[in-house]
Chains A and B, each alone.
Chain A
Amino acid sequence: MQNIMKKEFTISLFTEHHIGILNQVTIIFTRRQINIESIAASASAVKGIHKLTIVVNTTEDMIDKVQRQLEKLIDVLKVFVHTNDKIIYQEIALYKVRTTELMTSNEIESIVRSSNARFLEITPEYVVIEKTGHKQDTTDLLNKLDPYGVLQFVRSGRIAITKQTKELMAYLKEMDEVNNYSK
């Protein structure tokens, strides 16, 4: 029953850039026994504030509790939870294939063309192909390349931009006002 209710959520977490923050965040998921599907850490548009993008599969009820527990962490500034229709998101994947495979048939080239992927590097021994897109797109390309022998495959964590019009800065300003109110 609970499995049926599970959905994919993308969590955007804005934090102070401190050592150990990732550990603090993942502890909450571990305690709740939630698997992290993907995770990406980077700078945000606001100087000094770090952004984590985490993808999980869980229930709506659980994600509310997790969001509140994440926000409770001292060094976390703000947590947003989105369903996929509320965000623009992307992943990047890299594939390494033997150059001889490319030479002996036209197939690889046409696969790369039709998948909107591109060659990142070509050497006498191997080629590296890059593809950005949703998980399904990068998986499709992997399946297509598979018969030709993929030496290496790697996919990044999801990164996402929200469609909401209220940006982090507005929230930070609000929080500042509350802080000043309490003084």
Chain B
Amino acid sequence: MHKWLLQQIRVLSEKYNYLIHQLITTIQKPDNMAKTRKKEKITGAKALLYSLMEEEVETIFGYPGGAIMPIYNELYDIEEEKLNHILTRHEQGAAHAAQAYAMVTGKTGVCFATSGPGATNLITGIANAFLDSVPVVFITAQVNSTLIGSDAFQEVDILGISMPVTKWNYQIKQAEKIPEIISKAFYIAGSGRPGPVVIDITKDAQMQTLAFNYQKCTSLRSYNPNIPLNPANIESAAILINHARKPLILAGHGVLLSRAEKELMAFVEKTGIPVASTLLGLSAFPAKHPLYAGLLGMHGNYGPNIKTNEADLLIAIGMRFDDRVTGDLKRYATNANIIHIEIDRSELNKNVEVDIEINGDAKEALKALFDQVNASSYPEWLSEFKSCNKTENAKVIKQECYPSRGKIKMGEIVNLISEKTQGEAIIITDVGQHQMATARYYKFKNPNSLITSGGLGTMGFGLPAAIGAKVGKPDVPVIAFIGDGGFQMTIQELGTIFQYKLPVKIIILNNNFLGMVRQWQDMFFDKRYASTELVNPDFVKIAEGFDISAKRVIERETLEISIDEMLSCEKSFLLEIMVEKEGNIFPMIEPGSSVSEIKLC
């Protein structure tokens, strides 16, 4: 009996011990720990990713390497639905893709690269985003803070290198700075005149720990992007508008960046003023609208260029009078008063002296102007544009878009695609002749549906930009027009399209030439075609290697059928179209000429 009792006591105590043990392990389970996580310290790398999530980032384009490994190591633990990473084949590709993603979604793009060559490979992409005012936050890794300045392995002074092509840049050497600086980066990149920001984070800062606490940045004492409109300037602008007899609107990228398309439409429909567009302003105003006057600049439409020098009032909205738009400045807008609506004060009176500066957001300015302008119409002025269009149609467009004989022309391809997609696709271009043909002949309908490299004119932009656009807008058809030269500058991004099964449509307009340079050699260098002829590989075979359906078109008879096949294909597709070898893009304002000297052939 005594023994039995002892036994029972032992069993009970063991059970009790087990229960206590169970209790302890339950308390220690991660689920119960989650509540206390916020007070727990996390690494700088994780803090960076949490900061991005606080900024509602969904997609990162990037490329790993030595110094950025702690960040990728933390990324490994975060589910794809929360933070999706697209691995490109070159950092330049990641930079362009992030920019295109930003342009189609209206969000700030994010791009990762490692130190040294990773960071320097971004520079073209950063400069491209800078010149076209697109918000992208570039995160570059840096060697350990103790090694900075010592020419350590893969160390470059990326702050110094990127300074002239960024809106802002900063180096983080302590983990606890990460949340604050990332919030500043997003605020600066996305506000005012948007632009790229580089944040360089040392490897030790990525690995140190901190207590994470995020607060969105909403103002900085040295930076004030929200400029209140000057009512007096709005009033005098309205007076000029109400008294103009030949007014013309020049719409730029700023209209799209401030999401002012509706306000522009309302303003235009009330005032009856025709709208011409810069290259980056395309798609801010529907091309089929009766008040759309066409593309400005070197290879723009005949009417808006000629009429720039006949207009008595130019209303420039979110554009910067780039030399490709103005031609010879001394003979630009010679008869016009100019109203310039622009958020960046340093652009006002920079290239062209204007009569009324409206320093502020395009959307706000158009809203304010709308109330003060009279409803009007300019039938005679519009008929002058119409007769210009007739001339251009007869001398250029007819042959370019509707040829019946000879080699396939770039214009007819773009025109066909425009009709078949009814202007609803997102169009990407590279840089060169095909870019001008696309800008001229695609009839854009929806805002932000043209992604092109404007200010920097970056060959190689097209293919990676198509990737970014497709990731940003998976439900909209994305069609990239690319030349045979530019395609080979970032051809490795076919690998990205393959890996992520991105249904991008690629159209190579192949003339076996660096066409735009050849055109200039033709016109200004006695046809001395120095290093512009390309001996190209078999693009169809290359595409096949990346499991991308591909077809080559040589004859006009099979063009339409092949385009249909491409458009109906649910996967990625590469269509190589052999075009006229020595076709030139016209009209053209030759360098140094005035807009009124635009040549039709």
Contacts and interface: CB of A to CB of B under 8 A. Distances in A.
Interface string B205-237: 000000000000011111111111000000000
A34 to B, nearest CB: 15
Contacts of A31: 164
B349 interface: yes
B222 A178 contact: no
Interface string A167-179: 0000010011011
Contacts of B171: 19
Given A74-B220, A77-B222, A178-B224, A68 B345 contact: yes
Which secondary structure dominates where chain A touches chain B? helix
Contacts of B225: 182
A116 to B, nearest CB: 40
A23 B163 contact: yes
A183 interface: yes
B244 interface: no
Contact of A71 (B159, B226, B345, B349): B345
Interface residues of B, number: 26
B222 A24 contact: no
Interface in A141-183: 172, 175-176, 178-179, 181-183
Nearest to B191: A182
Interface in B448-466: none
Contacts of B223: 74-75
B199 to A, nearest CB: 13
A69 B346 contact: yes
Contacts of B350: 65, 68
A74 B349 CA distance: 21
B253 interface: no
A31 B159 CA distance: 17
A142 to B, nearest CB: 36
Given A16-B222, A172-B221, 18 more contacts: A15-B222, A19-B171, A20-B163, A20-B169, A23-B163, A68-B348, A72-B344, A72-B345, A72-B346, A74-B188, A77-B221, A176-B221, A178-B227, A179-B226, A182-B219, A182-B225, A182-B226, A183-B219
Interface of B: 159-160, 163-164, 167-169, 171, 188, 218-228, 344-346, 348-350
15 contacts: A19-B171, A20-B159, A20-B163, A23-B160, A65-B349, A68-B348, A72-B346, A74-B168, A75-B168, A175-B224, A176-B221, A179-B219, A181-B226, A181-B228, A182-B228
Q: Considering the complex of A and B, which 10 residue pairs feature the smallest CB-CB distances, nearest first?
A: A182-B226, A68-B346, A74-B168, A77-B222, A179-B219, A72-B346, A69-B346, A74-B223, A27-B164, A68-B345
